[in-house]
Amino acid sequence: MFKKILIANRGEIAVRVIRACHEMGIAAVAVYSDVDRAALHVRKADEAYPIGAPAASESYLNIQKILDVAKRSGADAIHPGYGFLSENAKFARACADAGVKFIGPTAAAMDAMGSKTRARQAMERAGVPFVPGTSRGLESFEQAEQVAARIGYPVMLKAAAGGGGKGMRLVHAPEELKSALEGARSEAERSFGDSEVYIEKAILNPRHIEMQVLADEQGNTVYLGERECSLQRRHQKVVEEAPSPIVDPDMRRRMGEIAVRVAQAAGYTNAGTVEFLVDQQKNFYFLEMNTRLQVEHPVTELITGLDLVHLQIHIANGERLPFTQNDVMIRGHAIECRIYAEDPDNNYFPSPGKITLLLLPSGPGIRRDSGMYEGWTVPMDYDPLLAKLIGYGTDREQAIGRLTRALNEYFVGGIKTNISLFRRILGNPDFRAAKMDTGFLDRLLKQKADQSDMQPDSQAAEVAVIAAGMFAVLGSAAAEAGECAVINGSTTKANPASNWKSAARREGLR
């Protein structure tokens, strides 16, 4: 087994992988940019190395710097997490050349899948169902016009190297095509250094359902059930759940077998995800394969009882899958909320800043994968994902109940987060009835938030009045004493107990 693993990432996923390493008795090496010295993953690691300026291209995307750290630290494997270098074939190849095991698929498999157009060509050969469109990048605007006319509007333009909605445009009518194509191309060039864009028929109000696969290096490939990821905003997933409420065992088997075929056609190893679009008649179409661990992998872990990061490490170590397809059982229901630093009252703009207060949920069926802590300043340089809150239950209703309860316990002060959005989603009758598609969130957000945080409530307002007064009193008192005090039942003034003593007393009360 590996002795030491370098985690080429930051935030909650770096912490997630460090934890897996420690669970398996493996030392964990963190890397960090200049603004991440105080980040949680640095605190949790066994070794940590600075890799430069905040811009990702100078640090987390810099292959040479990361391989230098691997060499200096003596790491024998690298886990890339998601994002950054996780789907970069050049990086996987450079790791192999440097004699460090890349925990993920081979560069060749990534090449086959990393480009959406090439993936599509391979899938055509493997007989996988896909949405009508071009399987090659568009050469000209004229070609785009012709194809769009042939398959019929609305059409979707997509970056071949894309992901996360970047370089993607929905086009309703011919006159919008030109500017959309230019926009998609320049965004693709900016985001991925590759302006190749292709075109597909847009399926309106589809569901987005994906299948987790796992393949060892001996040629065994299994599927671990699906995840419903239809709740998206700006093509970014916001809520994911497993299993999908609309997938029955037969559909799961058919989708799973196709996902396995996709993986095998690409010579795929390690963990991967095959994404499908599902139309209202439950026809499913291959969308793309993500050649990495997904953000939403915990929901699959909860319903299968498997630890995907452990399995990734075992597979990379050359071990066989310790189970077969027949051993994979799905039990219960899990739902994940992606907690972002963004402002619900300001069109969900990113809201970096210092976390002044953090109250954490816990209790039955709650899992929290987080990269934040109280007192930490969220930098503005990266994706605003702070944490993932996952609720698990015997069935969907219980999972929703637990997650709603946990969201009410969760409090992040000092910065804005989208926690209130999840309360709205989880309380929505259509969500409760599992009537979802990829347009659900946009429609929900267009409605007035009648359940908003700012809803007038005279009783709660009176509580706020009293509390505001007390906080004002305490604000000045606490500033003088540097101490929190019990302000009833005992006298507040002249309590000379040291902070250490009171801290011990508080601990003793737990």
Residue 19 CA to residue 59 CA, distance in Å, equals 23
The residue behind tokens 């009171």 is 502
Candidate residues 53, 173, 487, 497; the one interacting with another protein per rule CB under 8 A: 487
173 interacts with another protein by CB under 8 A: no
Candidate residues 491, 494, 496, 510; the one interacting with another protein per rule CB under 8 A: 491
Question: Distance of alpha carbon 47 from its chain centroid, rounded?
Answer: 25
Q: 387 and 361 in contact (C-beta within 8 Å)? A: no
Catalytically annotated residue among 292, 338, 402, 423? 292
Q: Which of 333, 309, 304 is nearest to 12 (CA)?
A: 309
Candidate residues 413, 427, 439, 443; the one interacting with another protein per rule CB under 8 A: 413
The residue behind tokens 């992988």 is 17
Residue burial 2-20, b: 16+ Cβ < 10 Å; e: rest: bebbbbbbbbbbbbbbbeb
357 interacts with another protein by CB under 8 A: yes
465 interacts with another protein by CB under 8 A: yes
The smaller minimum CB distance to another protein, of residues 271 and 341, is found at 341
Binding mask 219-258 for another protein (x = CB under 8 A): ----------------------------------------
Candidate residues 126, 329, 434, 473; the one interacting with another protein per rule CB under 8 A: 473
Least distance from C-beta 161 to another protein, angstroms? 16
Residue 98 CA to residue 101 CA, distance in Å, equals 9
132 interacts with another protein by CB under 8 A: no
Candidate residues 99, 193, 429, 489; the one interacting with another protein per rule CB under 8 A: 489
The smaller minimum CB distance to another protein, of residues 152 and 427, is found at 427
Q: CA 162, 163, 164: angle at the middle one, nearest 5?
A: 140
Residue 434 CA to residue 69 CA, distance in Å, equals 47
SS3 content of the chain, % helix, strand, coil (to 5): 40, 25, 40
53 interacts with another protein by CB under 8 A: no
Is the link from the previous residue into 243 a cis peptide, with omega within 30 of 0? yes
407 interacts with another protein by CB under 8 A: yes
- DSSP strand pairing (47-50 vs 366-370): unpaired
Residue 268 CA to residue 312 CA, distance in Å, equals 13
**Which residue stretch of 57-65, 274-282, 319-327, 481-489 sits at the interface with another protein (rule: CB under 8 A)?**
481-489
Alpha carbon distances (Å) from 345 to 298, 351, 413: 29, 11, 15
Residue 201 CA to residue 456 CA, distance in Å, equals 46
474 interacts with another protein by CB under 8 A: yes
The smaller minimum CB distance to another protein, of residues 121 and 452, is found at 452
504 interacts with another protein by CB under 8 A: no
Least distance from C-beta 355 to another protein, angstroms? 10
DSSP string, 338-350: EEESEEGGGTTEE
Least distance from C-beta 353 to another protein, angstroms? 8
Residue 392 CA to residue 372 CA, distance in Å, equals 22
Least distance from C-beta 412 to another protein, angstroms? 9
62 interacts with another protein by CB under 8 A: no
Binding mask 316-355 for another protein (x = CB under 8 A): -------------------------x-x--xx-xxxxx--
Candidate residues 149, 467, 497, 504; the one interacting with another protein per rule CB under 8 A: 467
DSSP H helical segments within 27-173, as ranges? 40-44, 63-73, 89-97, 107-114, 116-126, 141-151
Candidate residues 395, 430, 471, 499; the one interacting with another protein per rule CB under 8 A: 471
Q: Which of 53, 110, 33, 82 is nearest to 309 (CA)?
A: 82
Candidate residues 179, 408, 495, 499; the one interacting with another protein per rule CB under 8 A: 408
365-384 binders of another protein (CB under 8 A): 380-384
Q: 364 and 331 in contact (C-beta within 8 Å)? A: no
Q: Is 19 a catalytic residue?
A: no
Count of residues of this chain found to bind another protein when the rule CB under 8 A is applied: 54
Least distance from C-beta 343 to another protein, angstroms? 7
**Surface-to-core class of residue 460, CB atoms within 10 Å of its CB (0-12 exposed, 13-18 middle, 19+ buried):** exposed
Least distance from C-beta 319 to another protein, angstroms? 36
415-434 binders of another protein (CB under 8 A): 420, 423
Least distance from C-beta 393 to another protein, angstroms? 21
Catalytic residue set:
292
Residue numbers at the binding site for another protein (CB under 8 A): 341, 343, 346-347, 349-353, 356-357, 359, 380-384, 407-408, 411, 413-414, 420, 423, 453-457, 460-474, 478, 484-492
